[in-house]
Amino acid sequence: MGEVLIGAEELVEAMLSDRPPVVLDVRWQLGDDRGYDHYRDGHVPGAIYVDLNTELAAPPSAARGRHPLPELADLEAAARRWGIDDGVPVVVYDDCGGMSAARAWWLLRWGGIDDVRILDGALRAWRAAGIRLSSGDTVPRTGSVTLTGGGMPTVGIDDVAATGALLLDARAGERYRGEVEPVDPRPGHIPGAVSAPTGESLADDGTFRTAEALRERFASLGADGRDVVVYCGSGVTAAHQIAALEIAGYGAALYPGSYSQWSNDGSRPVEAG
């Protein structure tokens, strides 16, 4: 497993090196569609804005979920638009603890890029370090990266139904329990899933908890000696949990359709509580 995280000061050093990374701004949150406006107001110098809904996902559908995986050719075309070449490192960030940036981290790793890191602590850490921001747009050069696919494991809806793996639900606890459901048609969770809110992988300052703390967390949920599958609402925050699992030393597969696909299929059972 490669390094998952990079700190703000370390990123500055990398940007000044003879092999600077491509930096991607992936600001997106459920209920906030102003990510591009936030980017224009202030971003890491040289960062390229990435639209999660249109560039990190295929069009939504009840059959595939709210954020289906994009076709590999579409992801490759987007990565080239962002200026990524073969062998060039990539750093991704957002302004919400890496919750949306992890989608880009996972997808690019899935596409076959090995050196992709998440800015630990997100833009909050960059600001806390007193490093300047840029405003407006960054115009990227055109890259030439070739994506091969298959770099990260996935499972489909039928695999989830039959799996003997530890199934972790990365959504907030109240959504897992079915107490609230803001977007999906049936409240609750996939039967047999264990509640593991992805926010609990972060410390109070928005950085990831230590590898030791994360190992203890996932071991307590039953990860030792088992295959692990992670889902969330639409496969976005689940990628953050996979990053946390990797920091802890565990591998995990993503169920991309996640609960938005599962709950739209009336033949699939749902549990609450």
Residue 28 within a domain = yes
Are 95 and 25 part of one and the same domain?
yes
Are 246 and 190 part of one and the same domain?
yes
What residue numbers bound the domain in which 211 lies?
157-262
Are 74 and 33 part of one and the same domain?
yes
pLDDT digits (tens, 9 = 90+) for 74-84: 999 999 999 99
pLDDT (0 to 100) of residue 163: 87
Question: Which among 128, 149, 165 is the end of a domain?
Answer: 128
Are 115 and 37 part of one and the same domain?
yes
Average pLDDT over residues 108-122: 98
pLDDT digits (tens, 9 = 90+) for 233-257: 999 999 999 999 999 999 999 999 9
Per DSSP (E only), the strands in the chain are 5-6, 22-25, 48-49, 90-93, 116-119, 166-169, 194-195, 228-231, 253-254
Active site includes 232?
Answer: yes
pLDDT class of 2 with cuts at 50, 70, 90: low
Are 10 and 110 part of one and the same domain?
yes
Are 15 and 120 part of one and the same domain?
yes
Q: How many CB atoms lie within 10 A of CB 21?
A: 20
Question: Which among 88, 108, 128 is the end of a domain?
Answer: 128
- Catalytic residue, chosen from 52, 152, 232, 252, is 232
What the block records as the tokens of 23 is: 């930096």
The CATH number assigned to the domain holding 201 equals 3.40.250.10
Are 14 and 121 part of one and the same domain?
yes
Residue 172 within a domain = yes
Are 52 and 117 part of one and the same domain?
yes
Average pLDDT over residues 3-17: 97
pLDDT digits (tens, 9 = 90+) for 175-226: 999 999 999 999 999 999 999 999 999 999 999 999 999 999 999 999 999 9
Are 118 and 163 part of one and the same domain?
no
| Average pLDDT of every residue of the chain | 96
